[in-house]
Structure 1
Amino acid sequence: MPDAVAPAPTDAPATEAPVPTAAPDTAAPDTAAPDTATPAPDAPATTSPPPTTETLVPWTGAHHPLTGLPAVNGLSRLPALAVKIGNNDTRSLPQVGLEAADIVYEAHIENNVTRFLGIYQSQLPERIGLVRSARSTDINLIGNLKNPYFAYWGSNEGVGAEVTAAESVGTFVARSTSGVGQENFVRDDARGASPFNGFLNAQGLMAAATGTAPDPVFQYGDLPASAVPAAGARWSTPNRQIDYVWDTTSRRWLRFQGGVPQLDQNGVQLAADNVLFLYVDYKVSAADFDSPQAVSTGTGDGWLLRDGTVTGVVWGRPFIANGWHLADDDTDEIVELAPGTTWVALAKLGEGKVLDLAEATAVTG
């Protein structure tokens, strides 16, 4: 609310002091009139109203599990939806519906480029794309979402067998271009040739979904005490450069890819409230010898970028059903995220760099 403005004081009417009058020349003693003037009346006091203040009442209701944001319009009871989304090259751009994801995981695929796994729960866009094929990395990543739905555009035979095995033990509910729900996967020739034109009717798919909402996989709360200012961070692979730069106006991390802003389907730059670098090991997928597979259990180093700062963290996740435990790498205190969306870079050790102001300015131009 704008600050209240006090009214200007009202000027008192000008009152001229009377001129002293000499005493008449009489037999009375020759006494001069006192050299005084009648004081002007004081201007009426003007009292400014007290400044208007806005009291923020802490939210005591429910919070969305995958963002930590207040569920002011009520909680979604739907299970989470994980969607494999392309980012191979410019033919994958712009992505559709990616900005609505609560969490976005980004991992290496073939040729040292990356692909997204968008996790949706607090909100569900009508259309998501470009939908691409599953990878071995995805299976363990979503094992902590309480039997989510996993939407992808097919797979090779080896990954397909891994998906079937994971689904059979309740890790997720698989939905693809064959079987139940296949009518919700469509190709749009306006986006070019296959495989760069696949879309998911997310709301149609989830209309028949059963199950429950996930538990949180991160903790949300205050800024870590050891956080230090940071202008941005960079993830570099042999074939890709990804930058996140802190924007003081929106108070979010703006995403750049290949040195240019990465935009959504509406021309709005993709951004996140948290960016989490998790340094993980990669191994060759047993299902596809050309495909790297991120190892997302165990422990490792990383960085949390939030609120214009960076904090060094140690991440831990003993089993795929566990959420992510983040501890300060100096104090061992629990590290909490800012409420909001989170993008997770599953990077190899040595691929990350914290940007100073000059480097971040060079990115934004």
Structure 2
Amino acid sequence: MNGVATVGMGQGKRTRRAALTAAVLAASLTVSLTAGCAHHGRDDHRAPGHTPAPTAPPAPTRSVAAAGSPLAVKIDNVSAARPQTGLDAADVVYAEQVEGGLSRLMAVYATRLPKSVGPVRSARESDLELLRQFDRPTLAFSGAQRKLLPLIGEAPLRAESPDKAPAAYYRGSGRAAPHNLYLHPAKLLPSAPGRAALTTGFHYGPAPSGGTRTAARTVRYPAARLTFTWSAERHRWLVAMDGTPTVTADGTPVAPATVVVQYVRVRTSRYHDVLGNHTPYTETVGSGKARVLRDGRSFDASWSRPGATDGTTFTAADGSRMNFADGQVWVVFAAAP
């Protein structure tokens, strides 16, 4: 059964160390980034001219991230940026609406780090709220709107742009800027922190009873669409962006085990791009409805995230805990009707 949607997701709480925030504020206030904001693929800043080879990156030269801290990378998702690199290695991929009705991705890495990820693009205000669920995550991004930079500097995360960590980024060949900025994750993290760093609140286990057999589901933004088609052979959902199958640069299909369409409030933020288009703000704290796709079926669900430092709890229609299938999870944020 085909479907057209817009939906939500989440689970889990965690305590945070009181002294951590103060330390992070002091460290993060040194961030200096070039201003930038996206609209139809024209936003981010240029990295320095340094272009390290895309293979066998040297050992990390940055300070070591806190134990259990994942890497989050903002990834370009316009047609000129595809195919992306390293997207299949992410544990969680969040999709959000940005200026011009386009989509952008945030990939979170905890169990493995690919050699390269990208193209890397700019951060948004709502990313800071989304990332509060993790313990001082490292955020890799190309820059941000100038007035947003102080908020990024004050956030409890490790902000690593090309200005701060130039050796971690390089310009790929064959594409025009800004769609050619890539990251060597090993330059920011010495190793993958492990599954325990995924404090998202997601729970994995057997599928609940019921659900509706579903062949495909599409989520639409004003100027973009994401389609997930069930593959019984791969036992995964094959991703397509704007009607084109999503594969990585080496041809590997991107195929999550679970897809969550999370219905959220999307409002206008106080920030805008260089053309005056206001940035949508995706609210991920609160509660609402969701649609969970797994095992070729679609399940009605509810989500709840009481506070920014909490993960998101997902509940099935019968009130039981909503389990996800083991493997990559995509969370697509869609405006609640």
TM over 0.5: yes
Distance in 1 between residues matched to 2:222 and 2:311, nearest whole Å? 30
CA distance in 1, matches of 2:167, 2:74: 17
Tell me the CA shift for residue 287 of structure 1: 3.3
Give the TM-score, by structure 2 length: 0.75
Residue 260 of structure 1: how far off its partner (Å): 2.3
- Which segment is superposed worse, 224-233 or 206-215? 206-215
Counterparts of 2:311 and 2:68, CA distance in 1: 19
Map 1:1-365; keep pairs closer than 5 Å.
78-87=68-77, 89-166=78-155, 171-179=156-164, 181-188=165-172, 190-207=173-190, 213-288=197-272, 290-328=278-316, 330-350=317-337
Shift of 1:228: 2.4
Q: Which runs of 5+ in 1 are unaligned?
A: 1-64, 66-76, 351-365
Uncovered stretches (5+) of structure 2, i.e. residues with no partner:
1-11, 13-66
Residues 201-238 of structure 1 show CA distances to partners (whole Å, capped at 9, x for unaligned) of: 11121129999834353011111123221112111122
Q: Which has the higher contact order (CA 8 A, sep 6+)?
A: 2
- Alpha carbon RMSD of aligned pairs, Å? 2.0
Query: Following the alignment from structure 2 to structure 1, what is the Cα–Cα distance between the partners of residues 313 and 141?
Result: 28
2-side partners of 1:208 and 1:341: how far apart?
19
Paired with 2:199 and 2:125, the residues of 1 have a C-alpha distance of 23
Q: What SS does the corresponding residue of 1:336 show, helix, strand or coil?
A: coil
- Structure-2 separation of matches of 1:220 and 1:210: 19
Q: For the Cα contact (< 8 Å) 1:146–1:214, is it kept in 2?
A: no
The verdict on how the C-alpha distance between 1:115 and 1:227 changes in structure 2, with shifts beyond 3 A counting, is same
Secondary structure of 1:162's aligned partner:
helix
AA at the equivalent of 1:206: L
Larger Rg: 1
Tell me, in whole angstroms, the C-alpha distance in 1 between the residues paired with 2:154 and 2:332.
27
Alpha-carbon contact 2:99-2:279 (below 8 Å) kept: yes
Aligned residues of 2:68 and 2:135 also touching (Cα < 8 A): no
Distance in 2, Cα, partners of 1:140 & 1:124: 24
Aligned sequence identity (%) = 29
Distance 2:314 2:87 in 1: 25
Separation in 1, partners of 2:131, 2:141: 13
CA distance in 1, matches of 2:160, 2:174: 22
Q: TM-score, normalised by structure 1?
A: 0.70
Distance 1:274 1:258, change over 3 A: same
Paired residues, what number?
267
- Partner of 2:310: helix, strand, or coil? coil
Q: Aligned equivalents of 2:175 and 2:250: distance in 1?
A: 18
Secondary structure at the aligned position of 2:188 is classed as helix
**1:49-80 deviation line (CA, Å, top 9, x unaligned):** xxxxxxxxxxxxxxxx9xxxxxxxxxxx6520
Displacement of 1:258 in angstroms is 1.9
In the superposition, relative to structure 1, how do residues 245 and 210 fare at CA in structure 2: closer, same or farther (>3 Å)?
closer
Match of 1:345, SS state, is: strand
